[in-house]
Amino acid sequence: MKYQLSFCEIEQISDSIFEVTTAKDAVIDERCAKEANDFWLQLREKPFCLLVNTIHSFSFSFTGAIEIGNNPLRTKTAILLGDKKNESEVETTLALKKTNNFSEETRGVLISSLRVRYQTVEFDKIDIHLHTLRDKQQFFDPDGIAEEMGISSALWPLFGLIWPSSRVMSHFLLDYNYQDKRILEVGCGIGLTSLLLNHLKADITATDFHPEVEGFLNKNVLLNGDKRIPFELTNWQEINTKLGLFDLIVGSDLLYEDEHVQLLSTFIQHHARKKCAVVIVDPGRGRLAKFSKSMATAGFSTVKTKPTDTSYLEKPFSGTIAEYSRQ
């Protein structure tokens, strides 16, 4: 839904996300401030504050709006703020599309406005602490980097949650012979498996295609008091010679699309030692059989099992643990 004000157009993208496009010849003054504040009062149950920036990089702060560093934001930018009584805890919703030239200070302020949660995942006597996104409604792509990589706003938050398949993988690897192996996690997402293996002093390297994964991974390493996890931002179409070869390759819930079957298989083959084990946890997306056939052409045999105990999950797990080995 779109709303037209005298100096800008406001598009409601979701319940709490709005995008503002100021007119090219707009003169932002007190009249505009009153018009915008009246608009929010009518639309929301309580007042929201708005920071609008024009194409001329001239910024005007409406009542109570927060200043973002010293670097003016660009066109099509809206920041909506809730209760301003406690600025350090204010819940900020962002609608930022294809903005650029952010300073590190500015970007740090913006990403800190994502709604997050802190969780502890228990593995017997081991606790892994995680800083994750609060839910699937979060979105932050001010530079348009994710969009250029083909990551839509709907897909963007999926990396930042703990999914059942990653829990199954982590519990499975607790009893796995991972010692003295160089291990690669493919599509690590929030990195639960990598964080657990790292905590257990395993030689783990993490990869993902999402531009925000590394920042969350580094923060979670610090939360657990462990050493930094080597990370590579890569997709399965790239031949990344920096990664090298591995003895054990693991991945959870990776086969989202039909094209992923061959892409993932080829990626694994590029980074598998001649003698290598691969573990894939699949929740049942219907592509595991085709993936196993592709792995067989590369000399991998397959053993498929069901997890024996998933009492740590909220719902029953109907997926499969697929183990591939090549001698």
Each residue of 258-286: pLDDT tens digit? 999 999 999 999 999 999 999 999 999 99
pLDDT attached to residue 4: 85
More confident residue, 70 or 292: 292
Residues 175 and 218 in one domain: yes
The two structure tokens encoding residue 44: 């929301």
Query: SS3 of 223, please?
Result: helix
Q: Which of 66, 88, 109 delimits the end of a domain? A: 109
Q: Which of 61, 77, 109 delimits the end of a domain? A: 109
Number of domains, the chain: 2
Q: Which of 65, 85, 109 delimits the end of a domain? A: 109
**Are 276 and 247 spatial neighbours (Cβ–Cβ below 8 Å)?**
yes
Residues 72 and 12 in one domain: yes
Q: Domain range spanning residue 24? A: 2-109
Residues 31 and 73 in one domain: yes
Residues 159 and 305 in one domain: yes
**Are 156 and 139 spatial neighbours (Cβ–Cβ below 8 Å)?**
yes
Residues 163 and 292 in one domain: yes
Bridge partners (DSSP) of residue 9 are 4, 21
In Å, how far are 84, 144, 181, 279 from 304, measured between CA atoms?
A: 54, 40, 22, 10
**Average pLDDT value for the chain:** 79
Answer whether residue 33 shows pLDDT above 60.
yes
pLDDT attached to residue 246: 98
**Are 197 and 174 spatial neighbours (Cβ–Cβ below 8 Å)?**
no
Residues 217 and 299 in one domain: yes
The enclosing domain of 259 has a CATH number of 3.40.50.150
Confidence of residue 99 (pLDDT cuts 50, 70, 90): very low
Q: What is the mean pLDDT of residues 35-45?
A: 67
